[in-house]
């Protein structure tokens, strides 16, 4: 149902972002992916997306650089059209008490996890207004609704995404544009999976103990969310049936924020 539409997903060389790109391409959207990583692996993903839904682009724009974000959106517009759908997804984490939290880390996380969504919207909204259609989605987090200690910058940025989402929704409400965010709990991504062996060693635990007693401690279902489940919600938000859903923050967290 997305044939003829173009989607730009930031931070889509792995994890949740890549799942968004694949799910949108499967519905026919042409996609531009973005993020860092191994050049060959990225090219393989780009080619697979191209085989699914037509010309696909990769941008190495750094989400800490506003001018690179604007240039990325312009290139998407010039070479693919649109973008009709933008997903602000790039994100990083740093875990440390406020007392010693490095200022540079704070600035980086606010830039990537929050300000980049603003810059993306600033570049994309005028293009969407012209077409009188648009879908803007951000990956927030359970940490847009509740906090955990030692994640000051991340929690602040994600709460900011929830506020930005509401504001942008109000500003675009009469233009056929919807703005929403998705708040996952713990998602099974390579990033999470790769932590398990080290944690097993550090805590002298089995794989099952690490998963249930460490990673899924706060997730009542005791199951990970999958990147594909998050992507399916984003695809739904792109449907005509979702045209009246705007300014919302959707939890998909196995019950985490119900506690």
Chain positions contacting ligand NAD, by CB under 6 A: 11-17, 34-37, 62-64, 89-92, 112-113, 139, 141, 184, 186-187, 189-192
Is 154 a known active-site residue?
yes
Min dist. Cβ of residue 182 to ligand NAD (A): 8
Residue 180: name the closest of 106, 82, 252 by CA.
252
Residue 15: name the closest of 202, 205, 229 by CA.
229
Q: How far is CA 189 from the centre of its chain?
A: 13
Both structure tokens of 115? 């300000």
Q: How far apart are CA 225 and CA 242, in angstroms?
A: 22
Q: How far apart are CA 133 and CA 123, in angstroms?
A: 15
Place of tokens 């690179």: 68
Q: How far apart are CA 122 and CA 116, in angstroms?
A: 10
Min dist. Cβ of residue 194 to ligand NAD (A): 10
Of 20, 154, 186, 250, which is the active-site residue? 154
Q: Which helix (H) or strand (E) holds 58?
A: strand 57-59
Both structure tokens of 78? 């010039």
Q: Could you give the 3-state DSSP secondary structure of residue 33?
A: strand
Q: How far apart are CA 207 and CA 73, in angstroms?
A: 42
Min dist. Cβ of residue 148 to ligand NAD (A): 12
Q: Which residues are catalytic?
A: 154
């Amino acid at each position: 149902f997305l044939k003829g539409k173009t989607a730009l997903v930031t931070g889509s060389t792995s994890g949740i972002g890549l799942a968004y790109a694949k799910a949108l391409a499967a519905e026919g959207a042409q996609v531009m992916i973005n993020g860092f990583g191994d050049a060959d692996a990225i090219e393989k993903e780009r080619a697979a997306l191209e085989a699914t839904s037509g010309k696909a682009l990769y941008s190495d724009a750094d989400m800490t650089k506003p001018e690179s974000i604007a240039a990325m959106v312009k290139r998407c517009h010039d070479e693919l059209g649109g973008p009709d759908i933008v997903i602000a997804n790039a994100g990083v984490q740093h875990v440390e008490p406020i007392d010693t939290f490095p200022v540079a880390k704070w600035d980086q996380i606010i830039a990537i996890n929050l300000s980049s969504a603003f810059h993306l919207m600033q570049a994309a909204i005028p293009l969407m207004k012209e077409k009188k259609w648009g879908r803007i989605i951000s990956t927030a987090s359970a940490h847009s609704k509740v906090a955990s200690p030692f994640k000051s910058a991340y929690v602040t940025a994600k709460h900011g995404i929830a506020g930005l989402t509401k504001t942008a929704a109000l500003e675009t409400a009469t233009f056929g544009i919807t703005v929403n965010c998705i708040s996952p709990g713990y998602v099974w991504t390579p990033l999470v999976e790769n932590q398990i062996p080290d944690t097993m060693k550090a805590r002298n635990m089995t794989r099952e103990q690490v998963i249930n007693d460490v990673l899924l401690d706060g997730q009542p279902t005791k199951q990970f969310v999958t990147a594909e489940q998050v992507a399916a919600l984003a695809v739904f938000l792109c449907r005509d049936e979702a045209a009246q859903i705007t300014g919302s923050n959707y939890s998909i967290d196995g019950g985490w924020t119900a506690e």
